[in-house]
Amino acid sequence: MLKIHFLGTGTSQGIPVIGSNHPVCLSPNPKDKRLRVSILIQWEHANVVVDCGPDFRQQMLRVNCETLDAVLFTHEHADHTAGIDDIRPFFFKQGDIPVFGSKRVLDNLSQRFDYIFSKENKYPGAPSVLVNKVEAPFDFMNKVVVPINVMHNQIPVLGYRIDDFAYLTDVKTIKPSEIEKLKGLDLLVLSALQIKTHPNHLNLDEALNLIQKIAPKRCYLTHISHFMGFHDEVSEKLPPNVFLAYDTLTITSE
């Protein structure tokens, strides 16, 4: 069994957006307040995070995560990577932290965070990582992790499938061959940015159409902007097996 903690379910600006008077940003409902998107996946003794954005420290404290076995990166955008320096407490306890991603993403991170990725002239207070390039399914802590290739407009993004659970964020298009890798899911987490069409992300209707093609038993939507609308109002309009995720939500997948 997998346990999935939604650390953040918001888009790159989070909700509320700084300085915004949009009604969703002013909502008192905790489910309308969203940190940058990330999940923690747990099984047996494993703690694996998918992406570590700028809210990573706050998210790890909130979920009381004491160890970190790996970070799986989907792509290089700041809302998915800017918190990597906050792996330091885990590094001080455990040593080098394994990170996984495509070659392009790992190269990008090694340039932006050279003090973390470089092994030369290491600053004593800096964390270190064990770099793992993802090109095919790989074994990790008694699980097979299957990479799923999607497109974020022109930017390749990796989703990940573990057992009958899959996580896809920042999706705009996906090839039929990749959809086939997602058949038989118990649980899918999929990004859906807003109601209106967007050039880089699935909107709600596009996400619902993709869910029909993949046909998971359950799907939770994430990477949600304030332009999606109020959590409770949108939730009432969704199909019976589709739900809006929210920060602090914990679910399980068999």
pLDDT tens per residue, range 94-118: 999 999 999 999 999 999 999 999 9
pLDDT at 120: 82
At 55, is the pLDDT very low, low, confident or very high (cuts 50, 70, 90)? Answer: very high
199 has pLDDT over 80: yes
Residue 254 placed within a domain: no
- How large is the average pLDDT for residues 2-6? 98
pLDDT at 171: 98
How many domains does one find in the chain?
A: 1
Q: What is the pTM of this model?
A: 0.97
121 has pLDDT over 90: no
What's the rounded Cα separation, in Å, for the pair 122 and 147? 32
At 81, is the pLDDT very low, low, confident or very high (cuts 50, 70, 90)? Answer: very high
Q: Which residues pair with 99 in a beta bridge?
A: 71, 131
At 172, is the pLDDT very low, low, confident or very high (cuts 50, 70, 90)? Answer: very high
CB 160 within 8 A of CB 185: no
Range of the domain at 16: 2-249
197 has pLDDT over 90: yes
Q: What is the CATH number of the domain that holds 80?
A: 3.60.15.10
H helix or E strand, kind and range, residue 107: helix 103-112
pLDDT at 254: 75
Residue 79, Cβ density class (10 Å: 0-12 exposed, 13-18 middle, ≥19 buried): buried
Which is nearest to 57 in space by CA: 88, 17, 91, 92?
88
CB 83 within 8 A of CB 55: yes
SS (H, E, C) 143-194: EEEEEEEEEECCEEEEEEEECCEEEECCCCECCHHHHHCCCCCCEEEEECCC
Q: Residue 105 corresponds to which tokens in the numbers above?
A: 């993403």
119 has pLDDT over 90: no
At 122, is the pLDDT very low, low, confident or very high (cuts 50, 70, 90)? Answer: confident
At 161, is the pLDDT very low, low, confident or very high (cuts 50, 70, 90)? Answer: very high
What's the rounded Cα separation, in Å, for the pair 152 and 143? 27
Across all residues in the chain, what is the average pLDDT?
97
Q: How far is CA 39 from CA 45, 133, 149, 189, in A?
A: 16, 20, 18, 10
Residue 235 placed within a domain: yes
At 42, is the pLDDT very low, low, confident or very high (cuts 50, 70, 90)? Answer: very high
What's the rounded Cα separation, in Å, for the pair 92 and 96? 9
Residue 243 placed within a domain: yes
Residue 139 placed within a domain: yes
At 40, is the pLDDT very low, low, confident or very high (cuts 50, 70, 90)? Answer: very high
